[in-house]
Amino acid sequence: MATVGEAVVLPRNPARNRDGLSLHAALVLAGFFAALTFLVHLGSSLWGAHLGYGFFRDELYFLVCGHHLAWGYVDQPPMVALQARLAELLFGISPTGGRVFSFLAGGVTVGLTGLLTWQFGGSRPAQTLAMTGVLAAPVFLGTSNYLSMNSFEPCFWMGALFLVMRVADGSTSPRAWLLFGLLAGLGIENKHSTVFFLIALLAGLLISPQRHILRSRACAGGVAILMLIALPNFVWEWVHHFPTYEFLNTVEHTDKYLPHSPLVFLYQQVVVLIILAAPVWIGGLVWLGLSRNARAWRFVAITYLIFLGMMIAMRAKHYYVAPICPVLFAAGAVGFAQLVRRSRHVNTYAIVLGLTFVFATGPCTLTILPPNKYHTYTAFFQPDSVRMEKFSSPLPQVLSDRFGWPQMVEGFAARYKALPPDLRAHTAIFCDNYGEASAVNILGREYGLPTAISGHNNYFYWGWDSYTGDSVLTLGSNREEYTNDYTEVIDLGPSDAQWTMDYEHKHYFWLRGRKRPFAEDWARLKFWY
């Protein structure tokens, strides 16, 4: 084993790891787990549709964003909208079809965990343990089970980190930095939190002996590629006066998210990654930080700790840390295998995590339980114990937000068609939030409903669609919300679908005679939350 400065450099044999496991064998096992993960999500979505689970709120919004393709949006970069548009073109308007790319991303995340384990020198049992842990973790099950930017985040992060690790230990040439730049740039176009990951990674490298790998033309080239890919979104933000920052700052100063102390945040990390798996990923952090065999990758532990500290300081949601965690599962599986030195112990641990997935985290997170039996089965596991937002619901939010949209749209359609024909063509549908507006715009096509408008997030930029506000259908909690803006407010009855979010139990209102037309009053209707 040669050394460069203080850094341990493994023999340059890209075909086998320290344990003698070939890359081909590692890829086969990783591919198997990736395919298994994809099939788990696909099967749960199809079965969920049979049980009545439909589109998740954000999925409807992303589909509408896909009809307004741009280099940025108030609340996200462009990639998820492009993902939604491509899925719609390939599979049409269906919950499962729209999620296919996220299912694939979930599989890639699990497969990359296996490759990271191989890179650390892990055996097949260690690979199996690490990938089973990530497959079974509620946070990855949840974010990969619907159309979401969060499903792709660990793919870009772990793919980029895998390349840096190989450069750091000498198992690949510095030219891997160029591919790193591609993945990191796409990661930024997927979700802006990638910037904080990259800052933490840079800091981790600068603090560690591996800082020398930053001094190369290939690294500079990778950074240039990264910046070039991220540039269009940055320009969009600049032109629009950085709306994403304004949006995040606005949310920060509201009561939308439940306040949590740093200790509670750390506890949430243990829960969303499975309590039974805590010895694996926490052990992985210890192994990366202290083991002699991990000196070439010490910067990974530093990167995680810096990133974790940043998220705590910013009072982030608990799942914001998750994309960096597969590397800890990989390191922990290797460390555990080295500690026990018997494959059967490693395999037994993997079986325990697999059974936990089958009987606990899978039923709690995926759409496989009938909603009326959900709490009966999951009461012991308390799946809603790590709530992030103040909103209440009969099921965990990730499940309740898949109910009620068709019924809500049908209610709008019945009331719209009941209007006098001479008013119907001039009647707007105004919605308080992007979930309601997007449900009308996606599911309302078959009823001939007009395009819904809203001031919520990017809907604010899409405007009022030439409506004056003289005749408006909307959903609200009480008529007093509208008496200051309209001369006439008529209650048209409740929207009261089962299992939906509690705050979606509203009434339809017909609003007449807006005192200030939308064109004059639109800025006041801006709602970035």
Unique residue bearing structure tokens 């599989």: 107
Question: What pLDDT does residue 14 have?
Answer: 66
Question: What pLDDT does residue 212 have?
Answer: 95
> What percent of the chain is predicted at pLDDT more than 90?
88
Neighbours of 279 (CB within 10 A): 14
Each residue's pLDDT tens digit, 425-440: 899 999 999 999 999 9
Question: What pLDDT does residue 384 have?
Answer: 74
Rounded Cα–Cα distance for residues 284 and 282 (Å): 5
Unique residue bearing structure tokens 């749209």: 409
Under 8 Å CB-to-CB from 140, ≥6 apart: which residues? 106, 109, 110, 134, 154, 322
Asked if residue 294 lies in contact with residue 331, where contact means CB atoms within 8 angstroms, the answer is yes
Rounded Cα–Cα distance for residues 183 and 187 (Å): 6
pLDDT band at 13 (very low <50, low <70, confident <90, very high): low
Question: What pLDDT does residue 440 have?
Answer: 98
Asked if residue 480 lies in contact with residue 489, where contact means CB atoms within 8 angstroms, the answer is no
Question: What pLDDT does residue 274 have?
Answer: 93
Largest CA distance in the chain: 84
When mean pLDDT is compared across 98-112, 116-130, 372-386, the lowest value belongs to 372-386
The number of residues making up the chain comes to 529
The yes-or-no verdict on residue 1 having pLDDT over 80 is no
Question: What pLDDT does residue 428 have?
Answer: 97
Asked if residue 44 lies in contact with residue 368, where contact means CB atoms within 8 angstroms, the answer is yes
Per DSSP, the residues of 450-508 read: PPPB--BTTHHHH--TT--SSEEEEEES-GGGTTTTEEEEEEEEEE--TTS-GGG-EEE
Rounded Cα–Cα distance for residues 205 and 302 (Å): 8
Q: 1: buried, middle or exposed (CB in 10 Å: 19+, 13-18, 0-12)?
A: exposed
| Cα angle for residues 34, 38, 39 (degrees, 5° grid) | 120
> What percent of the chain is predicted at pLDDT more than 70?
97
Instruction: Determine the residue type at 387.
Output: R
Determine the average pLDDT of the residues in 211-239: 97
Say what the alpha-carbon torsion angle 61, 65, 67, 69 is, to the nearest 10 degrees.
Answer: -170
DSSP letter for 446, please: G
pLDDT band at 21 (very low <50, low <70, confident <90, very high): confident
Rounded Cα–Cα distance for residues 473 and 479 (Å): 12
The yes-or-no verdict on residue 287 having pLDDT over 60 is yes
The yes-or-no verdict on residue 257 having pLDDT over 80 is no
The yes-or-no verdict on residue 11 having pLDDT over 60 is no
Reduce the DSSP state of residue 8 to 3 states and report it. strand
Question: What pLDDT does residue 341 have?
Answer: 85
Look up the pTM and report it: 0.93
Each residue's pLDDT tens digit, 470-510: 999 999 999 999 999 999 999 999 998 999 999 999 999 99
Strands 428-430 and 471-476: parallel
Question: What pLDDT does residue 252 have?
Answer: 83
- Report the mean per-residue pLDDT for the chain: 94
- Of the two residues 298 and 382, the one the predictor is more confident about is 298
Rounded Cα–Cα distance for residues 238 and 231 (Å): 10
DSSP letter for 158, please: H
The yes-or-no verdict on residue 8 having pLDDT over 80 is no
Indicate the angle between helix axes 262-272 and 298-313, nearest 10 degrees: 120
Determine the average pLDDT of the residues in 56-65: 98
The yes-or-no verdict on residue 5 having pLDDT over 70 is no
Q: Which two tokens stand for residue 458?
A: 């990017």
Determine the average pLDDT of the residues in 345-357: 98
Determine the average pLDDT of the residues in 75-103: 97
Question: What pLDDT does residue 7 have?
Answer: 42
Rounded Cα–Cα distance for residues 367 and 401 (Å): 12
pLDDT band at 4 (very low <50, low <70, confident <90, very high): very low
pLDDT band at 331 (very low <50, low <70, confident <90, very high): very high
Reduce the DSSP state of residue 317 to 3 states and report it. coil
The yes-or-no verdict on residue 3 having pLDDT over 70 is no
Rounded Cα–Cα distance for residues 318 and 308 (Å): 10
φ and ψ at residue 477, rounded to 5 degrees: -85, -35
Q: Where along the chain do its domains lie?
A: 2-365, 405-525
